[in-house]
Structure 1
Amino acid sequence: MFSDICFYVKGKTIEVDGQDFLLGELTESCMNINDDQFHEIYFSFDKFKKEFPTELPEQEKYDKLKEEIFRIDSLLRVHKIFQVLGTPIETIKSYFKDKSILESWDMFCQLCNEYNGIIIDIYSFNVTINCFITQWIRNLKKCTPDDYAAAYYDFVFSPLAYKYIVNPVYNDGFIYTNTEFLSSLNLVPRETYEGSGKYVIAEYYHTSILQSFLKIDYLKGLMAGHSIRKCEHCKRFYLSTNAYRTRFCDKPSLEDPKFTCKQIAYRKTHIKDSNDNNPKYQTYKKAVHRIMRSCQRGAITVWRFLQWALILAYKRV
């Protein structure tokens, strides 16, 4: 829960605070809050809630509470999505320096409730969409917006949806909502990006709920052909903007940042992406077919054909 999130959806991009991102890019950042990172945030805040006083505390206790919420805030701001959206405390941090406990206590309690909402939304969204990606998106035969929409329909209306979608009954009060809480939605003309000279009719949204922002960014991305996938090697999520069924990401490798995760995965496993969806293989196949036809016509010798075939195979590897 944030006090204010304003953004524009412009075709395949989303504009937040004057910055343009691919649809799904910020959601990918949220999805990449791994279990260890989330547990540190969650258990820190859980301990914070248990120690939270029911009455107005002494100044020393109040100072410790503020330090702890600042520390939890810093754990969130490690991730790109919160660097872009900001966090509730960012705009009012200086306020607490000049105000007494009596003046600032009510605002501090409200601030803590907002962080509670953020943590609930991260868990509810990430767990639900992780299941959708690994059990629905991953098994699609085709990767098109129509197929993504059909998969999401099957996911949401599955008879076993209560097992896949985070809900208060089975998930200790956490919930993946089926309603978006938007303060406003308008259609406004907007430049595709600053200085482009091209314009679109953008959808302007205003919300105070993190989960609403994430679902709009992710689901609008699916309708634009953008899909978040899980790398089979490093287990991180990455954004795919085409219909190719890639298995590994192009992020810097965790083992050796000089190489991409995909390069390291190929070296270790010697596994290539499925040839049916690999553009490099398709190009290689067409080139071999052309020189084979030239050989059959007698334009080149068999020996020359074998030489070219070996060169093409070496370049493909």
Structure 2
Amino acid sequence: MIEGTKGTNEKVNTLQEFTLMFWKNQILINDNKIPLGQCTTDILNLNDDYLVEMNDSRNALVVAMKTLFNPNIKKDLATVSEIQNKLNKVLDLEIALPPFHYLIDKEFGHSMLADIFNTKPQGFAALTDRNTHQGEVFYHFIFMLISFIDETIAFKKYISVMLDLYFEKLNKRNEEHYAVGVYSFFTDTKLLNEIRVTMPPILSFDFTQTREVGIEYAPMRNPENEKEYLIAERIVFKSMGAFLHLDFFRALMNGHCPRRCHNCGKYFLLLSGHNTCYCSNMAPNQKKVGDTKTCRDIGAHIKETQKKEKRTPTQQEYDKVYNRLKTRKNRGKLSVDEWNNQVAEAISYMEQNQRGELSDFEYKELMEKF
């Protein structure tokens, strides 16, 4: 096993296998107390550029590994260094994600191939030969790195659709209503198929209700009172998908749920007992210099001034696109003709959705392209 350097309650964590302590509605990592669902929320807030970079780096690493494991290609220091750089790019992107940035050192593995190539030629030959034990272990390590990227991208897609299309319709925010949202999502086979066909083939990950983990129990000091001891649940994960799956669904069981802010569009973690559609982060695009209003501050104003008639989710999606296009026109990024054509196109999509000619998922996908 290719080891990391940070431990969790005497467990050595690696990218292939990592252990986390769960207690009440929190994840305990050394001195960090992370609310259930916060890691999921952080993944949901990964921007498109980061996801594209992850996918491009993944593909580059796949090509590099074909070269590395090809016995007919002679390896020199320049080739090995180039492959190491592609490996480092993937490591950097993955170690920056939760929970790895709590568990794995930033420089982990960054000189692995080059060091072995320079100091242990026979060891390097064994490492790059899948017929050896070392080669099979290393190949599995690379496969896991690639799988983590696939799992993260797929998880973000499925959960964001579930939250936006089913959870936003819920009348209340609690465990019972979250269960209704989950059930409605998983029984919507048409929607699940629509999501699946929009994604590239991902052989290593499928979004299901079942994931495998290892469960242990361990005594530890009470993080709220050092004089007391308690028994915590220690869970061993061997994939990113398994961890995110547990973090999200266990959060729902405890009344925690990520929600998209109705002002800035980013996700925030809605804790048990709370029900708001605005986050507490600094609101974007504030007009006055020195203005420190949060989205929640602005949301309170919006609620006071909004019209009495409640617009449907379809109309709300159109409103977001309309406002986005209007901002671009006002900034000179769209001509009047482009503005008119794109608004007309958005109206057409809205009307098709209202007539049932476009599903909610198809409609949302089209509107996000504006």
Query: Same fold judged by TM-score > 0.5?
Result: yes
2:39 partner letter: L
The structure with more radius of gyration = 1
Aligned with 1:151 (options 174, 181, 193): 181
**Residues of 2 paired with 1:43 and 1:247: CA distance?**
34
| Residue 27 to residue 126, structure 1, CA distance change in 2 (3 Å) | same
Q: Tell me whether 1:61 sits opposite 2:52 in the alignment.
A: no
How far apart, in 1, do the equivalents of 2:145 and 2:21 lie?
24
- TM-score, with normalisation over the residues of structure 2? 0.63
Q: Which amino acid aligns with 1:102?
A: A
Within a 5 Å distance, the mapping from 1:1-317 to structure 2 comes to: 2-17=15-30, 19-51=32-64, 52-53=66-67, 55-56=70-71, 57=73, 58-59=75-76, 60-86=78-104, 91-93=108-110, 95-100=112-117, 101-105=124-128, 106=135, 108-163=138-193, 166=196, 171-173=200-202, 175-182=206-213, 184-193=214-223, 195-197=225-227, 200-255=230-285, 259=292, 261-262=294-295, 265-266=298-299, 270-272=301-303
Task: State the one-letter code of the partner of 2:266.
Answer: R
Q: Residue 159 of structure 1: CA displacement? A: 3.7
| 1:82, distance to aligned residue in structure 2 (A) | 3.2
Partner Cα distance (1:121, 1:111) in 2: 15
- The letter for the 2-side match of 1:61 is T
Structure 2: tracts of 5 or more residues without a match: 1-13, 118-123, 129-134, 307-370
Q: 1: distance between equivalents of 2:139 and 2:36?
A: 34
Aligned residues: 270
Change (3 A) 1:98 1:47: closer
Measured after TM superposition, the shift of residue 75 of structure 1 is 3.0
Once residues 34 and 293 of structure 2 are traced to their aligned partners in structure 1, the CA distance between those partners, rounded to angstroms, is: 22
Q: Which whole-Å deviations, capped at 9, do the CAs of 1:125-181 have from their partners, x for residues lacking one? A: 1111101111111111111111112221222233435336648x9642252133212
SS of the aligned residue for 1:155 comes to helix
- 2:8 aligns with none
The more displaced of 6-15 and 107-116 is 107-116
Q: TM-score, normalised by structure 1?
A: 0.73
Contact 1:234 1:261 (8 Å CA) reproduced = no
Mapped to 2, the partners of 1:141 and 1:37 lie a distance apart of 33
1:244-279 per-position Cα deviation (integer Å, ceiling 9, x unaligned): 432221123454697354157449xx413899xxxx
The Cα offsets for residues 64-120 of structure 1, whole Å up to 9 and x where unpaired, read as 011122123223344454312438x85444543531231443355433212211111
The alignment partner of 1:272 has SS state of: helix
Q: Which residue of 1 aligns with 2:325?
A: none
CA distance in 2, matches of 1:222, 1:262: 24
SS at match of 1:162: helix
What SS does structure 1 have at the residue aligned with 2:264? coil
1:202-261, Cα deviation, whole Å (9 max, x unpaired): 322101111111111111111111110011222211101144432221123454697354
Q: 1:181 to 1:90 in 2, by over 3 A?
A: farther
CA contact (8 A) 2:155 2:241 kept: yes
CA distance in 2 between partners of 1:15 and 1:160 (Å): 38
Higher relative contact order (CA 8 A, sep 6+): 1
Equivalent pair of 1:6/1:17 in contact (CA under 8 Å): no
Deviates more, 1:199-208 or 1:139-148: 199-208
Distance 1:255 1:195, change over 3 A: farther
